[in-house]
Amino acid sequence: MAKEIDVNLSTVNIEGLDAELRAALGKNFSGLRCGKTCTLILTDDVSAAEINTARGIALAHDPTKLSPAQQAAQDQAAKLDAQRKAQKGDLDTSKFNDPLVGELAQKIAWLEQEMIALRAGR
Amino acid sequence: MTAVWTTPKTWNTGDPLTASDMNTHIRDNMEFLLTGGTSVQNRVDASDVSITSTSFVDVDTTNFKVTITPTSSTNLVVVFITGAVSFPSTGYAFFDLTDNGARLGQDDGLFVIGSTSTFLANRIPINIAIPLRNLSVASHEFRLQAKVSAGTLTFLMGAGTANGDIHPYMTAKEIN
């Protein structure tokens, strides 16, 4: 059995709140169930002080605050987007005079086109 | 009116044939058999439910449950669940059923879905039938439970979600 604590939150970043509560309560926090209201799922071993801590964290929850995993994913996406924008135009294979490097450039140009097609769902 | 099963009367020589007995033991029992036993169905129109719990919890404590009272412990009761979930995480989502609060499955439950990609797991249909025998002749409330190994599982509940306005059903049916 688990202890379930209901909290009323108008909006919730479920991954963000989950990460905050896991960091604070460790193994005594099993997770969240959020529908019309949010329920904190705690183990039977949780103390009254930990319940208060959990409730306090939930009520102070800022849905705009990202979890470490969400922040890492957002940073990675931004980095990829910046690198994508830095690549202007297709690879010009005619610039490579060495036959072996030219062959490699042809392969890279082909892979670039394949990736563009894959991202476009073609 | 929902037909109710009554254990048929044993008729003895000389017993009067009354309208009440005929209605109870013949008409009502025939109607009960025609409709195939007790069937309860709950269509949910509520908020989608997201779960990050790594221990089993009810998917929904108020909207997604069915209650049935079998007429005989030798009959089969089948619980049907249909709906869809979103699980864009790398991990596993486990499901179980409770009968009056007691989990029917052990360990990781009755069924599982696994995902290694956000692209593969955004809409997953759930269509299962769980047959149960030897239930006591008493009220049984069934609820769906779920847990995850990691990530967030969302059970779609007809909440108007874009491309996910899916209305799940949960049905319990007794088969004579």
Give the minimum alpha-carbon distance from B38 to chain A in angstroms, rounded to a whole number: 30
- Which residues from B are below 8 Å from A when comparing CB atoms? 46-55, 57-60, 147-148, 152, 157
User: Which residue has 């039977």 as its token pair?
Assistant: A44
pLDDT digits (tens, 9 = 90+) for A46-75: 999 999 999 999 999 999 999 998 899 899
Contact call for A33 and B147, based on CB within 8 A:
no
pLDDT greater than 80 at residue B176: no
Q: Which residue of B has its CA nearest to A18?
A: B52
Give the minimum alpha-carbon distance from A5 to chain B in angstroms, rounded to a whole number: 12
Structure token pair of residue A116: 């563009």
pLDDT greater than 90 at residue B45: no
Average pLDDT over residues B44-67: 91
Query: How many DSSP H helices and E strands does chain A contain?
Result: 4, 3
Average pLDDT over residues B117-146: 88
Residue numbers of chain A with a pLDDT score lower than 70 = 1
Does the complex come out with an ipTM higher than 0.95? no
Contact call for B57 and A18, based on CB within 8 A:
no
Predicted pLDDT at B126: 93
Average pLDDT over residues B142-170: 92
User: Which residue has 């103390």 as its token pair?
Assistant: A47
Mean pLDDT of chain B: 89
Contact call for B52 and A36, based on CB within 8 A:
no
**What whole-number percentage of chain B has pLDDT above 90?**
60
Average pLDDT over residues B50-58: 96
**A33, A44, A61, A76: which to substitute to probe chain B, counting the most B Cβ within 10 Å?**
A33
A73 at interface of B, judged by CB pairs closer than 8 A: no
Contact call for B49 and A41, based on CB within 8 A:
no
At B57, is the secondary structure helix, strand, or coil? strand
Average pLDDT over residues B92-112: 94
pLDDT digits (tens, 9 = 90+) for B57-101: 999 988 889 999 888 888 889 999 999 999 887 899 999 999 999
Is residue B141 within 8 A of residue B88, CB to CB? The reply is: no
pLDDT greater than 80 at residue B40: no
The span from the CA of B147 to the CA of B156, in Å, is 15
